[in-house]
Amino acid sequence: MRLGMKATENDIKYLPGVGPRRAEMLQKELGIRTFGDLLHLYPFRYIDRSTVVPISDIVPDMAYIQVRARVLSRELYGAKGVLWQDGPTAGDTAALPETFRFTSVKRLRVLVKDSSGILETIFFKGLKWTFEKLTPGKEFIFFGKPSIFNGHVNLVHPDIDDAPPSSGKMSAEDRKKTGFIGPVAITGIYPSTDKLKNSGITAKVMNRLQAAALNASLIDIRESLPDHILKENGLVPIHFALRNIHFPSGQDALAKARYRLKFEELFYLQLSLLKQKYIRSRDEHGIRMSKVGDAFNACYKSLPFPLTGAQKKVITEIRDDMKSGRQMNRLLQGDVGSGKTMVAVLTALIAIGNGYQACIMAPTEVLAQQHFKNISKYLAPTGVRTALLTGSSRAAERRAIHEGLEDGSIGIIVGTHALLEDNVIFRNLGLAVIDEQHRFGVEQRSRLWKKSSCGMPPHILVMTATPIPRTLAMTLYGDLDVSVIDELPPGRKPVLTMHATEGKRQALFKFMKDQIALGRQIFVVYPLIFESEKMDYRNLEQGYEQIVSAFPFPPYRTAIVHGKQSNEDKKFNMDAFAAGRADILVATSVIEVGVDVPNASVMVIESAERFGLSQLHQLRGRVGRGSEKSYCILMTGHRLSNESKRRIDLMCATENGFELAEEDMKMRGPGDLEGTQQSGLPVSLNIASLAKDGPILNDARRCAQAVLEDDPDLSSDKNALLREELRKGKYQIRDFSKIS
Ligand code: ADP
Ligand code: MG
């Protein structure tokens, strides 16, 4: 150990009880290199042995509980039933015959009783020992997790301890003997792996190591939140928090410690996100677009339908941004089919009305084409010149478009990534609408910003049809303002969602034929998982062949779309389906986003268990757009993991995308991952959970806002610590372009 070095930075191998071999294990399995790292590994669960639960209060979904009860009776079961029993149920207290052979006993059932009721405990192992210990009339502490069997609650293999005297104070010796209601009644359980356990780092050892690390280095840990923030938010100091997160002195202290640590984590995350936003809105001016303009009004007047209340509300929010003199950075969330395109069009027309150009970017060629088609329809009455630029635009066409953008004669350009190329130059780009944000990286967004030649950045409207839980939106898009279209256009019929397995294949085909006979169209979607593209493709091919042989031409017409096709083939097939020249569209999940075919009323999703909830929801959103009754059929294998089953059940139960998104996040939350944190998120949170800590996130965000309102650069003395912590870069958000 070097002189002057903080103990938190000590190599973990020097911690008593670790050594080189375990140090290597800790690093490999948990990324722990120093004392400090170890202290930041928090328990993901606690076992509370400080409270006793009355038997009548036990319900099956409780965590570990402790019961204080007297043994009533014992029953020994063999393969064929009860071998022997005692206690009141047997009428008397029979002694076990000397000759009794425990080898034939399969199970021991012990009924125990407290003043509130009777509980069953079950044992399969250590039967002789347990049997002898649990003599009727004696009182014990049973510790275990309630489960449900044959409709009643029981404890399987609970820990058994002698009950301490129930009245008066416990002697120190009693306390030691029973391990019950001691100073450390709540024990933390840490994330672990088999390898760690095999190298001797058991739960007990981990607790000992944490105690050693606390002893050695707590003194070197500095407070990481300024005083004023601790005070204003009623947070406990860091030393209290660390001591109690590892060794809670009680439930209340534990709650305070957890709140403080979660708050801190979320606070710094929000602070770093919002700081950018505050500085931007102070320093960066935006184009002031004070007018609505004739084009907007012309389009508005000729709309085939009235806007929904939600569309109107969102347009007002956007309009306020655009005329504010600051740059708009707004995220527009709206479920599939909620009418975001209309909002994009009207927003673009505001830019036009103020003498600027607008671009609308889509993630795929198919979508860009579809947007272009729809948008052109709405724009017809306005006389605004519109163009489409994608990777497959021909050279001559491209040249004309480049010219039109440079001289300003093209008002609105729709396109793909092709719009980002260096040779695309605008005369005066005033607005960029980006559809399906999650496919665009931050870096790409910033390239768009540079395309404005008027010295000010264009307004940015990001649209996403992937409903994101609010807490996640606040984190992923912390620097954006959020608008939500929370209302679907009138007349939408609910989509009936059903789950079926292979055995129902013929019934499914019959149902599809009936629907086609009614004049409807059908999507059949196969999963696409990039790691095994070849196999996916084979799946799709086989599926296609199966469909073609079950639905022969004539009269049935089946089109196919997948990633390996040329753009022309894709377009040809999509167009055929969109125009009603095909009854069935077999596709990979490329149709996930966009694609409006109101006459399609059935969505069949093959191997549905391989899709995530949000993807399933997106796919389902492709139907139910017309006036006909619509169906979504989720085909899966017979055997489903619990999680897959849950996803499928949720899909059948609700159509609300935000609800599904919340559930999805809860399912992927820390609870299921044995103490490791949410995977797939662009930030790694050590203790807070976006799924469960929404209220703390709100508190932390409000606090961060108040701090920045007052001191956007964090330049005042009292915020020096905040500045320093942010500089460590721990809270930087990773590029989320790959998140879907
Ligand atoms: P999103 O992009 O949000 O998934 P779209 O903009 O594609 O949704 O709209 C879905 C469908 O709803 C389109 O056919 C569109 O014409 C229609 N639509 C949009 N707004 C309204 C409205 N206010 N009233 C009726 N239909 C609407
Ligand atoms: Mg759309």
Q: How high is the mean pLDDT of the chain? A: 85
Q: Quick one: 299 and 343 in the same domain? A: yes
Whether 375 contacts 384, CB under 8 Å: no
Residues 505 and 572 occupy one common structural domain: yes
Identify the residue with better confidence: 20 or 592.
20
H/E stretch holding 29 reads helix 19-30
CATH number at residue 382: 3.40.50.300
d(CA 143, CA 135): 17
> Which residues lie below 8 Å from residue 589, measured CB to CB, with a gap of 6+?
525, 526, 527, 528, 611, 615, 619
Do 162 and 194 share a structural domain? no
Assess if residue 286 is contained within a domain.
no
Most confidently modeled range among 411-425, 564-578, 675-689: 411-425
144-148, 161-165, 221-225, 730-734, range with the lowest pLDDT: 730-734
| Domain final residue, candidates 601, 622, 654 | 654
Both ends of the chain: CA-CA distance in Å?
46
What is the distance between the alpha carbons of residues 721 and 707, in angstroms, rounded to a whole number? Answer: 13
607: left (phi over 0), alpha (psi -120 to 50) or beta: left
Ligand 2 mean position, distance from CA 679 (Å)? 28
Residue 262's identity, in one-letter code, is K
Percent residues over pLDDT 90 in the chain: 48
- The domain boundary residue, chosen from 606, 630, 654: 654
Q: Is 624 in the pocket of ligand 1 (CB under 6 A)?
A: no
**Chain centroid to CA 543:** 31
CA of residue 137 relative to chain centroid, distance: 51
pLDDT at position 539, please?
Answer: 79
Residue 153 belongs to some domain of the structure: yes
Of 625, 311, 172, 269, the C-alpha closest to 476 is 269
- Site to probe by mutation for ligand 1, drawn from 299, 302, 305 as the one with most ligand atoms within 8 Å of Cβ, is 305
pLDDT (0 to 100) of residue 738:
31
The pLDDT, as a whole number, for residue 469 is 73
Quote the crossing angle between the two packed helices 251-283 and 238-246, to the nearest 10°.
130
Question: Relative to the CA of 491, which ligand 1 atom is closest?
Answer: 25
159 and 205 together in one domain? no
The rounded distance, in Å, linking the Cα atoms of 482 and 462 is 9
Residue 402, CB half-sphere, CA atoms under 13 Å: how many? 14
Check: CB of residue 137 under 8 Å from CB of residue 163: no
Are 453 and 552 in the same domain?
Answer: no
Which CATH number do you get for residue 131?
Answer: 2.40.50
Ligand 1 touching residue 626 (CB < 6 A): no
In a domain, 670, yes or no: no
| Domain membership flag for residue 316 | yes
Assess whether the C-beta atom of 497 lies below 6 angstroms from ligand 1. no
Domain shared by 155 and 199, yes or no: no
Residue 641 CB coordination number (10 Å)? 9
Domain that holds residue 34: 7-47+190-220
At 443 the pLDDT is 65
Q: What is the pLDDT of residues 305-332, one digit of tens each?
A: 999 999 999 999 999 999 998 889 898 9
Q: Secondary structure of 221-257 in the HEC alphabet?
A: CCCCCCHHHHHHCCCCCHHHHHHHHHCCCCHHHHHHH
Question: Residue 594 and residue 276: Cα distance in Å, rounded?
Answer: 32
* 140 shares its domain with 201: no
**Does residue 94 register a pLDDT over 70?**
no
334 lines ligand 1 (CB under 6 A): yes
Residue range 375-385, pLDDT digits in tens: 998 998 899 99
Give yes or no: residues 514 and 640 share one domain: yes
The reply to whether 320 falls in a domain is yes
Number of domains within the chain: 4
678-700 b/e (C-beta count within 10 Å ≥ 16 → b): beebebebebbbbbbbbebbebb
Q: What distance in angstroms lies between residue 32's CA and the mean position of ligand 1's atoms?
A: 52
Domain boundary at 611, 630, 654, which?
654
Same domain, 549 and 628: yes
Distance separating alpha carbons of residues 155 and 148, to the nearest angstrom: 8
pLDDT at 488: 83
Query: Domain holding 32: CATH number?
Result: 1.10.150
Does 528 share its domain with 640?
Answer: yes
Among the residue ranges 12-26, 46-60, 655-669, the one predicted with the least confidence is 655-669
Shared domain for 502 and 616, answered yes or no, is: yes
Looking at the CA of 434, name the nearest ligand. 2
- Structure confidence by residue, pLDDT tens digits, 664-700: 777 764 333 222 333 344 566 788 877 778 889 889 9
CA distance 467 to 489: 17
Q: Is 339 in the pocket of ligand 1 (CB under 6 A)?
A: yes
**Cβ atoms within 10 Å, residue 601:** 25
* Same-domain pairing of 349 and 211: no
How many distinct helices (H) and strands (E) make up the chain? 24, 23
Residue 92 has pLDDT above 80, yes or no: no
Residue 194 resides in a domain: yes
pLDDT tens across 102-149, in order?
Answer: 888 899 999 999 999 999 999 998 898 999 999 999 999 898 888 887
Residue 179 lies in a domain: no
The answer as to whether 700 is a domain residue is: no
Q: Is cis: bond before 165, omega within 30 of 0?
A: no
Residue 529 CA to ligand 2 center (angstroms) comes to: 23
